[in-house]
Amino acid sequence: MKVIIVGAHSEAKQLINRISAGWSISVIDIDQEKLRNFSTNRQIEKYQGDGTSTLVLKKAGIESATALIALTENDEVNIEILKIAKQNNILRLSSVVNKESFIKKYQELEVEIVDPGILISRRLEHILEPRRVVSQAFAGGRAEAIELEISPDSPARGKKLKEIGSKYYIVGAILRKGQVLIPHGDTELETGDLVTVVLQAGAFGNVIELFTGSESRYPLEFGKNVAVVIKSEKNLKNLSEAEFYTRNTKAEELIIFSSEEVFKDNKESNQETYDAILKDQEYQIIQNQKNSLKELESKIEELSIGTLVIPVDEDDLKKSFVKSIINLSNNKNVPVLFSRGSSPFKTIGILISNNFNQNSPTLVSFDLAVSMSAKIFGLKVNQPKFLSQENSATNKDLLEKLQDIALAHETQLDIFSSEGNEAKTFIENSSKFDLAVVGKDNSSGWQSKKISEFVALNSSSTVLYIPN
């Protein structure tokens, strides 16, 4: 995601050095000498020119920006910049206020404002990345106290404090389900904990990464192995996709449910061919005599299957088959990959919803994006206005939440909006991603019940179904 900062000041430099690597940063300043001497510890793009110029802002990427910060010393200039940004529907807008007489005009624009008398970079950081809830400097600026929320994929989740302790920081308190805990070494951190950490200033980056960063775990919450069904020679592309999936997740082993006679010419055995395709990938073969769903179902728990890979035969794909596989997925709580051989997965497509629960399609998608070095294509489909009950504030909160997750994962997120039927619109865009991740979303509207089934049946890419 992109943030544009207008004003190459020291506060901008401090902010850039603190925020997530998930931000792409453009800095604008009219003073060429100041811009030339503006350096940070990360790569940024610099643009010399007037920040109120639409042309300059377009060069800096305003049409694709997620956030804009106005830091000039002239309130009238800041306000003009913010007006242009509002016209481009940028969600996160903030500015320093130089004179109190302009506060009302800033408030009329509904932007976040910062008093220059406070620590500007820290306040702006909270605006850009609200997952860091509170920050307070003390001890002459050599120490800092911050509050951070433990997310489902935080590297610290499930760890005891004595396992992650350091001489550079301490955990002073935990707010859990409304109760304040004074922790000790055996206290284990849980999802949703609000943790107060006191740290030396130099430990900031490491602490943020530990407590609010992301750690790939998928599919271990469901099982440790991946299983693929191989019925005939034409399924070999699906075997390769299952191998890619296994290598690029936390899965340990690939299990092949194989028919006895996969190859018609019998020039080599099944195992010889599998060895040639899989090379150093660990796998085991299980003869699947009848290739029945009941036979597969009986093995899921025994073999700790975390994802079941089902080859999709486009020439003979029936709605009843897709429905039965999804029912199996829900009954046995095992994700299913409807494999079309579209790996490697460089872009992952999701339907944007307000389901951010652990193991939701959204959080699984970001987990996969981290482990596969992929980006996220998020499609927000709005219902026609006469049917919709959404309001702009709710929609804005939803998109900001999604952006926060992308920042925590340091993952590129591209958001697209459309109107109409969710399933059909998603399918129309399926050529833009290599993997679609869907699941049953009980919180969605009347269209949601058959979305996963429709996508699995009609997508041009491989589809991962996450059970409810």
Model confidence at 445: pLDDT above 50: no
Question: Do 240 and 203 share a structural domain?
Answer: no
Strand order in 2-6's β-sheet? 45-48, 24-29, 2-6, 67-70, 92-96, 112-114
Amino acid, single-letter form, for residue 198: V
Query: Both 236 and 315 in a single domain?
Result: yes
Decide which of 212, 242, 273 is a domain's last residue.
212
Average pLDDT over every residue of 185-209: 85
Q: How many domains does the chain have?
A: 4
Strand 143-149 versus strand 132-138 pairing type: antiparallel
- Looking at the structure, tell me whether residues 272 and 196 fall in a common domain: no
CATH number of the domain where residue 196 is located: 3.30.70.1450
Burial of 162 (0-12, 13-18, 19+ CB in 10 A): exposed
Q: Is position 162 within any domain? A: yes
Q: Phi and psi at residue 449, in whole multiples of 5°?
A: -60, -35
**329 and 357 in a common domain:** no
DSSP sequence for 447-468: TGGGHHHHHHHH-SSEEEEEP-
Distance, first Cα to last Cα, the chain: 30
Residues 455 and 368 grouped into a single domain: yes
Residues 190 and 275 in one domain: no
**Using only C-alpha atoms, what is the Rg of the chain?**
25
Is the residue at 77 inside a domain?
A: yes
Same domain, 366 and 459: yes
CB-neighbour burial class of residue 240 (10 A; exposed 0-12, middle 13-18, buried 19+): middle
User: In the predicted model, is pLDDT for residue 152 greater than 60?
Assistant: yes
Q: 422 falls in which pLDDT band (50, 70, 90)?
A: confident
- Share the mean pLDDT of the chain: 85
Structural domain boundaries enclosing 449: 347-466
- Is 388 within a domain? yes
Structural element, H or E, at residue 387:
none
Phi and psi torsions of 139, nearest 5° = 55, 45
List all residues 6 or more positions away from 337 whose beta carbon is below 8 Å from its beta carbon: 241, 242, 245, 307, 308, 309, 310, 462, 463, 464, 465
Please, what is the Cα angle at 127 between 147 and 104, to 5 degrees? 130
Residues 238 and 151 in one domain: no
Residue 449 has pLDDT above 60, yes or no: no
Higher pLDDT, 154 or 372: 372
Q: Which of 40-49, 110-119, 439-448 has the lowest mean pLDDT?
A: 439-448
Is residue 107 assigned to a domain? yes
Nearest to 458 by CA among 427, 416, 415: 427
- CA dist., res. 81 & res. 4, Å (int): 11
Residues 442-447 have a mean pLDDT of 48
Q: What is the pLDDT of residue 462?
A: 96
Tell me the mean pLDDT in the region 276-295: 78
Question: Residues 115, 143: one domain?
Answer: no
Element at 274 (helix H, strand E): helix 270-278
CATH number of the domain to which 278 belongs? 3.40.50.620
Domain boundary among 316, 339, 362: 339
> Residue 21's CB: how many other CB atoms inside 10 A?
11
Residue 446 confidence (pLDDT) = 44
Instruction: Examine the fold and report which residue of 339, 364, 387 is the final residue of a domain before the chain moves on.
Output: 339
For 201, the token pair is 């200033």
**CB-CB neighbours of 409 under 10 Å:** 24
Is 395 a domain residue? yes
**CB-CB neighbours of 115 under 10 Å:** 11
CA distance 296 to 304: 12
- Reported as a pLDDT band with limits 50, 70 and 90, residue 230 is confident
User: Would you state the pLDDT for residue 296?
Assistant: 82
Residues 105 and 137 grouped into a single domain: no
Residue 14, pLDDT score: 82
Calculate what percentage of the chain has a pLDDT beyond 90: 49
Token readout for 145 is 């106290």
Q: Strand, coil or helix: what is 107? A: helix
For residue 105, what is the domain's CATH number?
Answer: 3.40.50.720
pTM given for the model: 0.73
Do 171 and 256 share a domain, yes or no? no
Domain presence at residue 220 = no
Co-location of 124 and 137 in the same domain: no
Residue 118's pLDDT is 52
401: Cβ–Cβ under 8 A, 6 or more apart, which residues? 354, 356
